[in-house]
Every structure is written in structure tokens, then in C-alpha cells.
Structure 1
Amino acid sequence: MPDIDHLRQLVAFADKGTLSGTARELHKSQPAVSLTMQRLETEFKVDLFDRSNNGIALNDNGHLAVTLARHVIEQYDSMLASVRQFDARHRSIVIAACAPVPMLVIRRMIERLYLSVSVRQILDGDDALLMRMLVSGDCQLIVLNHPISDKGLTCVPFMRESLTLAVPKGHILERFEALHFSDFNGYNIVLNPDIGFWMDVCRRHLPASHLLVQRTSDAFGVIAENSDIFYFSTSQSRDYAAKVLRSDARRTFIPIVDSEATATYYAVCRIGRSPSLTALMEELGRFGIQ
């Protein structure tokens, strides 16, 4: 049987129409692609191309080979995905979430409920991507910041998180009991790099601020601890943060009262596709909105 990579090159040639275009698409040299086409003809034991001074073009045999190759590739990819998903469901639980704190809450629950199961975490603020991952089986559970009522899905609200601004003691803003984003739009703010959808919230509401996104969480912690630059926190995130940020005596944590500064999180999984998650979803239902 032809090598699956050779079939992919054949399909790419059919889509691009030239050896040079195929080579560019696949990041290969043109001679390498040409050699693959010759090897395919050897394996099929028929001519697949008409040749001329201008290059090669698929003949009727070639067009049939491409049609069948597309089917073989689809079946091959589906086979790999099915086996990998089967293994993932039985050896690990993959969580994909729009924010870090609810993902940590769920991870702790999983580690308590399923002692022999490993947990893999994916953080991404793109709701559409999270839904595609759930539907495709690339993850067993996602966390969104809004409810969803799609048929075949279970959706459980389990916690709420609200932003606060960490303001240095003595700063003019410290006298406020609550703030709107507009009150500090224009100030420098240091951000942890891994905050999911909160990054988009900050960019939307603070267009005049310099958002100093750090490369690592450790770098964020160092700056937050040793400077007077504002940073965001929540009571929930401080429960999971480095010790120094849990009770920063140099700062006052002022709640932000804009509606987008508060998020309710929903755990979502597929009905019947993840029976192993039954205990977890029941636990989340009992967890209640915090």
C-alpha cells in the first residue's frame, strides 16, 4: 500500500496543480515531490500523469487515485483520532477552560475523586475553539463564562469570580470603595500571561492603559511584589496564587463593579460520552456559586 505521506502529497498536487506549488505548500523541495509522484506510479503500476514540456498533469487514472486517496487519508486520520481519544478517556481527563481559576478548582476535584487519572489542562479564551474541542473529543470537559443549552450537552454553573484592582497604599484611588474600568483607564497595569478571556476584557475596557503582559507567572509575581504598578486579582485567584500575593499588605484590593468584571463559570460535557465524569459533574453541582 502507498505510504500515507505519499498520498497526502498526491492530494496536495491535485489541489495545487503544479509540482512547485505542491512543494511550497508542503515545505518540501520540488525534486522530492517529483520523486514521490514517480514512486506512486511504481506502486500503482499504472501511469497517473500526462507529461509535457510544461510539467505533469493528472490523467484519468490519477484523478481516480486522488479521489480514493482522499478517502484513505480521511479514514486514516479518523482511525488515529479515535484510538487517541479512547486512550485519553481511559487514562486521563482533559480540561479546556476560558480562565485559570475555575480550571484549578476542577483539577483539585478530579485529583480527589479520581486517584489514578491524570489531568491535562488547556487554557484558551476562544469559546468557539473550546466548543470544537469538546465536540471533537479532544477534551472531555470545558469551562465557559456563559451558559449553553445545546442538545447533547450538560451545563452546570459552579462558581463566580470578580475582579479587584490591587492599588498601592496611599495612592489616590485607594479612597474609593469600588471602581469602574474608566476610573483607572490610562494607568500601567502588569498582567499575568495566562488569564484566558480576561485578557480580552482588559484590552476592551482599558484602551489607554499600557498592559504589561509578562512572559511567565513568576515574572508577574516578582513585579507585583516589588513595584507599585497596579495588577488585577480576585478573592478566588488569591486562594491559588503564590503566597506573597494572597495577602499583599502593601495594597488595597478594590472591587471593580462593571458587569464584565464578574464572570459566572459553567462546566460543560457531552451527555453519555463521558460517564466517568458523572461524579465530577455532581460534585460541581453541589459546589454552588461561590
Structure 2
Amino acid sequence: MYSLDQLRGFVAVAEELHFGRAAARLNMTQPPLSRQIQKLEKAIGVLLFDRDNRGVALTAAGTAFLADALKLLELADAAPSLARRISAGSAGAVRIGFTAASTFGLLGALLNEISAALPDVDIDLREMVTKDQTSALINGDIDLGLARPPFDDELFDSRLLFREPIMVAVPSGHPLTLLNRKLTAEDLHGESLIMHSPTQARYFYDLVISLVSSHRTFVHTVSQILTMIFLVAAGRGVALVPQSATVLGVEGVEYVELGGFEVDPVELHAIWMRNSRNPALHRVLEAINDQGD
């Protein structure tokens, strides 16, 4: 095995092609430098230099070894700085789970903010529903979730990122678009409702059921909001979706806000394990907090 000092000695001699100048460059005398090179050659089992009365020259093996030696020294010099940045959270990796609906309005802005504030933090995105996010957080498969409530407050810390209204997506020209006001749950009686999946979209399912508990005309049950909107465009019924879904721009669909709420009812939270020890996660949370401000 060879040492970093031996590599530095080898690089100095290789670049100077003179033991005396290389020793001066390293602030040492020539005999210890010569011994370093001899030990290095013995460790790797090849001659790195041709030495004669005319001077010093790299062997073919020495030329090949020089490129790798420079890389090794560059990595060795960078490693302490990287370790310090990872410890401080300014470098590293954060694995983020997100719901499909969060991509409509918030996710892109958050990622841009994180990248601007923490360019050396790698973000690994994983699309999953809230239930799978909480399991992944507990198992250590992700560091941060962008998810819907409720959460186990004993396990998870959380931060409200975003609130938005709930909209009724209807086929273009539908009579509900002519009311010129926010809709009520009563306005939806008699409408064919495209429903959220109770297993794959539980948050929206529970929210919609709380609004239209007496409604029994569910023509379809699907898990993805985009699918719901395409079904609306096809005239299959109406659907309750978050306002951010309006950016999808599906032709043949109009949106009318559903009223009757003291605050916008659709919530998105950042959630993470209370005992997380990933420094980069906490820097990301700072960036998210700044974005929210």
C-alpha cells in the first residue's frame, strides 16, 4: 500500500523531472524524496522513472500512473471539504416522495428554490401516494414527503406548504358554468360524479365524501386526477379536483369553484421523521420555508 505523501512526491518528480527541484517544491530534502519514490515503486511493483546521468524520465507505466495519481490526490484534497459540507447540510442527498397532484402547481417551484439555495444537494424524486410515503419515511427509504394529512404527530414533524380551493371540473358548456357564483354541494345533486379511489386517493376521497355524503351517483372511481379530468372532457360526469389541476389545460373542461369553506380546504404538507439525522434535509426544509415566505 502506498501513502498520499508518496503520491505527492511522485507527482512532483513527474512534473519537474528533477529530484532536486521536486524536493524544493515539497519543502524537503532530496534523499527522503528518493526513498518515497522507491517505496512507491516497490508497493505497486513497477518502475515509474528511468534514471541515468542525463536526468529523469517517466516510464510508460509512470505516465499511465500519473493520470490516476492526479485524480486520487484531487479526490483526497476534496474529501474533507465535501465531508464538512455534508455535515453542514450544504451537500449530500435528499430523497423526496410526492403525490402526483403536487406536481401540478407546487413541486416545480420547490425544486427550483432548493436547487438555487443548495446546488450541491442531490434531489431524488419518488412519486407515491401519502400512505406509501409514510411507510417509506418510517423504513428510511425517503427523507421528506410532500403529502396530504392526517399524520402521526408522534412520528412525523410537518409543515403546511400550500392551501388551495376545490374546483368542480365540468364539461365545457355545462349548466353549472352559467350560475356566475361559487357552487354548493346542493348544486351537485343529480350530477354523475367521477370519484376518487378510497384506497389510492384516500385524502381526496374523504374530503369529497364529507361534502357530498348523500350523493350516490358515482359513475367511475379512479386514482389519478388527470384521469378524472379526461373523463370529464369525454362527458362522463363531473369531478371535484384541487385548483392546481386547472393548469393541465385539458380541452373540453371548465372549472367552477366550490364554496362554503372558511379556509381553502385542500392542504399539502411537508412531512419528515422527527428523529431524522440527515443534515441536508434540514437545509432543504430551510429552503422550503424561505420559499413559503
In the other structure, the counterpart of 2:138 is 135
Q: How big is each residue's C-alpha offset from its partner over 1:87-117, in whole Å with a ceiling of 9 and x where there is no partner?
A: xxx76614155x7226973466347626744
Q: Is the contact between residue 163 and residue 262 of structure 1 (CA under 8 Å) also seen in structure 2?
A: yes
| TM-aligned CA deviation for residue 195 of structure 1 | 4.4
1:199 maps onto 2:205 in alignment: yes
In the other structure, the counterpart of 2:160 is 157
Q: C-alpha separation between the residues in 2 aligned to 1:216 and 1:149?
A: 25
Task: Quickly say closer, same or farther: Cα 1:288–1:259, change in 2 above 3 A.
Answer: same
In the other structure, the counterpart of 1:46 is none
Q: C-alpha separation between the residues in 2 aligned to 1:103 and 1:251?
A: 17
Q: Is the contact between residue 225 and residue 241 of structure 2 (CA under 8 Å) also seen in structure 1?
A: no
> Structure 1 stretches (4+) deviating beyond 6 angstroms?
215-218
Q: C-alpha separation between the residues in 1 aligned to 2:218 and 2:156?
A: 40
Give 1 or 2 for the bigger CA radius of gyration.
Answer: 2
**Gap regions ≥5 residues in structure 1:** 1-89
Q: C-alpha separation between the residues in 2 aligned to 1:236 and 1:201?
A: 16
1:123 maps onto 2:129 in alignment: yes
In the other structure, the counterpart of 2:110 is 109
Identity of aligned residues (%): 12
Q: C-alpha separation between the residues in 2 aligned to 1:102 and 1:144?
A: 12
Equivalent in 184, 189, 193 of residue 180 of structure 1: 184
Q: How big is each residue's C-alpha offset from its partner over 1:127-170, in whole Å with a ceiling of 9 and x where there is no partner?
A: xx654542332321124445879467542221112211124435
Task: Quickly say closer, same or farther: Cα 1:174–1:278, change in 2 above 3 A.
Answer: same
Three-state SS of the structure 1 residue aligned to 2:283 is: helix
Q: How big is each residue's C-alpha offset from its partner over 1:248-274, in whole Å with a ceiling of 9 and x where there is no partner?
A: 5x6342333346971232212235423
1:227 maps onto 2:235 in alignment: yes
Task: Quickly say closer, same or farther: Cα 1:170–1:135, change in 2 above 3 A.
Answer: closer
| TM-score for the superposition, normalised by structure 2 | 0.50
**Gap regions ≥5 residues in structure 2:** 1-91
1:276 maps onto 2:280 in alignment: yes
1:254 maps onto 2:257 in alignment: yes
| TM-score for the superposition, normalised by structure 1 | 0.51
Q: Is the contact between residue 169 and residue 255 of structure 2 (CA under 8 Å) also seen in structure 1?
A: yes
Q: How big is each residue's C-alpha offset from its partner over 1:229-266, in whole Å with a ceiling of 9 and x where there is no partner?
A: 21233332223x2x325xx5x63423333469712322
Q: C-alpha separation between the residues in 1 aligned to 2:104 and 2:179?
A: 34
| TM-aligned CA deviation for residue 202 of structure 1 | 2.1
Code of the residue aligned with 1:284 in structure 2: it is I
Q: C-alpha separation between the residues in 1 aligned to 2:202 and 2:190?
A: 22
Q: C-alpha separation between the residues in 1 aligned to 2:128 and 2:134?
A: 13
Q: Is the contact between residue 104 and residue 245 of structure 2 (CA under 8 Å) also seen in structure 1?
A: no
In the other structure, the counterpart of 2:95 is 93
Q: Is the contact between residue 156 and residue 272 of structure 2 (CA under 8 Å) also seen in structure 1?
A: yes
Q: C-alpha separation between the residues in 2 aligned to 1:244 and 1:162?
A: 19
Q: C-alpha separation between the residues in 2 aligned to 1:152 and 1:197?
A: 19
Code of the residue aligned with 1:100 in structure 2: it is A
Q: Is the contact between residue 147 and residue 266 of structure 1 (CA under 8 Å) also seen in structure 2?
A: no
Q: Is the contact between residue 194 and residue 221 of structure 2 (CA under 8 Å) also seen in structure 1?
A: yes
Q: How big is each residue's C-alpha offset from its partner over 1:185-242, in whole Å with a ceiling of 9 and x where there is no partner?
A: 4421235666451022223433323141247666544432232721233332223x2x
Q: C-alpha separation between the residues in 2 aligned to 1:219 and 1:145?
A: 19
Q: Is the contact between residue 182 and residue 205 of structure 1 (CA under 8 Å) also seen in structure 2?
A: no
In the other structure, the counterpart of 1:14 is none
